[in-house]
Amino acid sequence: MEQYALPWVEANEDDAHAAADRMRPFGSKFADDRADAAKAVERLVSSGQGEATKALEEHWADLSGRFAQVSTAAGVIADGMDSCGDIVRSSKDAVLNLVHSLRWTISPIGEAEMPSISDAGKQAMAAEADKVRPRIQAEVDSATTRGDERVKGVRVDGYVRSLRSIAGLPAGSGSGSGTGKRAADSMHLASAGGSWWDGDLRHDEDEHTRARKRLGEIADHIRDTSSLPLAQAGLHLTELGASGTLGATLAAGLRPLLDDLVLASRALADHLTGPLSGAIKAAAEEQKRQDDELQKRFGWRR
């Protein structure tokens, strides 16, 4: 290849596959985080009543959908990384087949023992290399085109596109993808409650406070444990970018998608301890008012 300056597919497919392999655990971990948060919230919704509890239910329905979008987007991006690796590998195989064919064509002359024939063999090899070079270049160009198209396909995927919206949402605002305007409004109002870290409920060990504390633990898990595979995938993308011209092109297309995924997951973690915990606090305060009223009127509490 180097002797006759033949083109080559300059990318390490192993880096693309390794990045995908690191990505996949994130999707499952994030889905587990969502399930844990659901347990904390749905327990309150099933046992509570009132407008604040209804707002909490709608708030969680919207937020839960965002968690699902992020998990699905992670799988789509991982599939794209794997596909890019497959494109590189198949293109390299095609180029190597052409090179092997070239060697078989020129070997009867190239292996000639007579010096004069040896010179002729070298010339023949160079001539054959010139003939096959356009075909090899076509394979290299095809790999670049197919890789670019694959990355673009991932970029326009609906779940992947949603990442930027999720990551860019101001705390407490809705995107309209959940249960409608009321859910969005409830998310906005809940943000006024602040994080559970700032809460001052009178009953420190009640169900609502335990739920808010649990959401804080889940948020920390997302930031620390669940996000670790994304950092590892990023390292492999860096290696892909350093592996050659095509590798740099693929990595440049995939890196922003990974960044969006990181930001979206962090935004949802922040939402658990911010607006969602604020909604839980509002439901707790509403229940407290109801209980106080019952005690005042009938002398008993729920």
pLDDT band for position 124 (50/70/90)? confident
Mean of per-residue pLDDT scores for the chain: 82
- What pLDDT shows up at residue 227? 86
> 139 or 121, which is more confident?
139
Whether residue 194 is predicted with pLDDT greater than 80 in this model: the reply is no
**Least confident span in 46-60, 64-78, 132-146:** 46-60
- What pLDDT shows up at residue 217? 96
- What pLDDT shows up at residue 106? 55
Whether residue 185 is predicted with pLDDT greater than 50 in this model: the reply is no
- What pLDDT shows up at residue 299? 63
Q: Looking at residues 116-122, what average pLDDT do you find?
A: 64
Give the number of other Cβ atoms within 10 Å of residue 214's Cβ: 18
Give the number of other Cβ atoms within 10 Å of residue 297's Cβ: 8
- What pLDDT shows up at residue 204? 35
pLDDT band for position 246 (50/70/90)? very high
- What pLDDT shows up at residue 283? 87
Whether residue 224 is predicted with pLDDT greater than 50 in this model: the reply is yes
Whether residue 253 is predicted with pLDDT greater than 50 in this model: the reply is yes
CA–CA gap between residue 71 and residue 284 (Å, rounded): 30
Query: Are the C-beta atoms of residues 273 and 197 closer than 8 Å to each other?
Result: yes
- Most confident listed range (167-176, 180-189, 213-222): 213-222
Query: Are the C-beta atoms of residues 233 and 23 closer than 8 Å to each other?
Result: yes
Whether residue 199 is predicted with pLDDT greater than 60 in this model: the reply is no
Q: In degrees, to the nearest 5, what angle opens at C-alpha 79 toward C-alphas 78 and 85?
A: 95
Give the pLDDT confidence of 13-42 residue by residue, as tens digits: 999 999 999 999 999 899 999 999 999 999
- What pLDDT shows up at residue 302? 54
- What pLDDT shows up at residue 237? 98
What separation in angstroms does the CA of 275 have from each of 36, 41, 56, 78, 126?
17, 13, 10, 30, 69
Alpha helices in the chain (DSSP H): 13-47, 51-110, 115-155, 158-168, 181-190, 207-221, 228-241, 245-271, 277-298
pLDDT band for position 230 (50/70/90)? very high
Residues 6+ apart with CB under 8 A from 83: 150
- What pLDDT shows up at residue 197? 37
Give the pLDDT confidence of 257-300 residue by residue, as tens digits: 999 999 999 999 999 999 999 999 988 888 788 777 766 777 65
Q: Is 3 exposed, middle or buried (0-12, 13-18, 19+ CB in 10 A)?
A: exposed
- What pLDDT shows up at residue 247? 98
Give the pLDDT confidence of 100-114 residue by residue, as tens digits: 887 666 555 544 444
